[in-house]
Structure 1
């Protein structure tokens, strides 16, 4: 057996542990069940709805359309950014 220590917000802990208790589980049993679910499904048992903002969506569209520039170094990228800022863009 392995022990693991982590920090929780006290309010989150109490609310979550209350739910565990309502099912007749102690925290260790509940967390073990969650980890077993992760292993058996090879996924995280929560919904991860990500909604990208407009800037991210624009970047995704540009990548899909092949509308992007490549750079060969960080220095080149920084120079391009500075040049765009100097043009007001």
Structure 2
């Protein structure tokens, strides 16, 4: 299998913290990213749940109720 390079931009603090986590797991950043990408291929999407913050969703619903938006008509 041929190899290729990839360049990404990320917050330096995020990079440092991630490297510490991966080092404690006995792997480097390249190995961790390869695992992530292979899992994304296997799952055909992100290999973890991506959700909106539940409290934010609740606040949106409460705002809709307050403004009478997204309400079904009375019978």
TM interval, short-chain normalised: 0.5 to 0.7
Pairwise CA RMSD of aligned residues? 2.3
The 1-side partners of 2:30 and 2:51 are apart by 27
Cα 1:56–1:39 change in 2 (3 A) is farther
The one-character-per-residue Cα deviations of 1:12-58 (angstroms, maximum 9, x if unpaired) are 11111111111111111110000000011112123211244236797
Question: Is residue 20 of structure 2 the alignment partner of residue 18 of structure 1?
Answer: yes
TM-score (norm 1): 0.56
Bigger radius of gyration: 1
Specify every segment of 5 or more residues in structure 1 that has no aligned partner in the other structure, as ranges: 66-89
Structure 1 residue corresponding to 2:11, chosen from 4, 9, 12: 9
- More contact order relative to length (CA 8 Å, sep ≥ 6): 2
Aligned mates of 1:3, 1:25 — CA distance in 2 = 18
Moved over 6 A (4+): 56-59
- How many matched pairs? 62
